[in-house]
Chains A and B, each alone.
Chain A
Amino acid sequence: MSLLQVDKLGVTYPGQSQPALHQVSLSLARDELLVALGPSGCGKSTLLGVLAGFIAPSQGRVLFAGQPVTAPGVERAVVFQHDALLPWLNVHDNVAFGLKLQGADAAARERIVADTLRLVGLADVAGKRTWQLSGGMRQRVGIARALASRSQVLLLDEPFGALDAFTREQMQQLLLRVWQQSQRGVFLITHDIEEALFLATELVLMSPGPGRIVQRLRPTFNQRYRAGEDVRAIKSDPEFIALRESLLHSLFRQGHEEAA
Chain B
Amino acid sequence: MPTTPPALIAVPDTLDFGNPPSPSAPAGRRWQPQAAHWAALSIAGLLLLWWALTASGLIAPLFLPPPQAVLAKFGELLAGGYMDATLQQHLLASLQRMLLALLAAVVVGIPLGIVIGVFPLARHLLDPVIEFYRPLPPLAYLPLIVIWFGIGELSKVLLIFLAILAPVLIATAHGVTSVSQLRQQAALSLGASRWQLLRHVILPGALPEIITGVRIGLGAGWSTLVAAELIAATRGLGFMIQSAAQFLVTDVVVLGIIVIALVAFALELGLRRLQQRLTPWHGQHH
**CA of A142 to CA of B201 in the docked complex: distance in angstroms?**
15
B180 touches A84 (CB 8 A): yes
**CA of A241 to CA of B75 in the docked complex: distance in angstroms?**
86
Which residues on B sit within 8 Å (CB–CB) of A72? Answer: 185, 188-189
Which residues on A sit within 8 Å (CB–CB) of B190? Answer: 74, 77, 97-98, 101-102, 145-146, 149
**CA of A226 to CA of B93 in the docked complex: distance in angstroms?**
75
A86 touches B201 (CB 8 A): yes
A80 touches B200 (CB 8 A): no
**CA of A150 to CA of B286 in the docked complex: distance in angstroms?**
26
Identify which of A77, A80, A150 contacts B182 (C-beta below 8 A): A80
B286 touches A74 (CB 8 A): no
Which residues on A sit within 8 Å (CB–CB) of B180? Answer: 84
The answer to whether the Cβ of B187 comes within 8 Å of any Cβ in the partner chain is yes
**CA of A145 to CA of B204 in the docked complex: distance in angstroms?**
19
B192 touches A80 (CB 8 A): no
B183 touches A84 (CB 8 A): yes
A80-B182, A131-B286 given as contacts; is B281 within 8 A of A87 (CB)?
Answer: yes
**CA of A186 to CA of B20 in the docked complex: distance in angstroms?**
53
Which residues on B sit within 8 Å (CB–CB) of A97? Answer: 187, 190, 200
Interface residues on B, range: 20 to 34
**CA of A98 to CA of B284 in the docked complex: distance in angstroms?**
24
Which residues on A sit within 8 Å (CB–CB) of B279? Answer: 88
Which residues on A sit within 8 Å (CB–CB) of B191? Answer: 73-74, 98, 101-102, 149-150
Most buried by B among A52, A54, A86, A150: A86
Which residues on B sit within 8 Å (CB–CB) of A85? Answer: 183, 286
Q: Mark A56-96, 1 if CB is under 8 A from B, else 0.
A: 00000000000000011110111110111111100000000
**CA of A77 to CA of B191 in the docked complex: distance in angstroms?**
9
**CA of A142 to CA of B196 in the docked complex: distance in angstroms?**
19
The answer to whether the Cβ of A168 comes within 8 Å of any Cβ in the partner chain is no
A74-B191, A149-B190 are known; give 13 further A-B pairs, CB within 8 A: A54-B188, A76-B189, A83-B286, A84-B186, A85-B286, A88-B281, A97-B187, A101-B192, A129-B280, A129-B281, A142-B186, A145-B186, A150-B191
Q: Which positions in A face B, CB cutoff 8 Å? A: 52-54, 71-74, 76-80, 82-88, 97-98, 101-102, 129-131, 138, 142, 145-146, 149-150, 155
The 9 closest A-B pairs by CB, nearest first: A98-B190, A87-B281, A84-B186, A74-B191, A131-B286, A84-B182, A72-B188, A131-B284, A78-B189
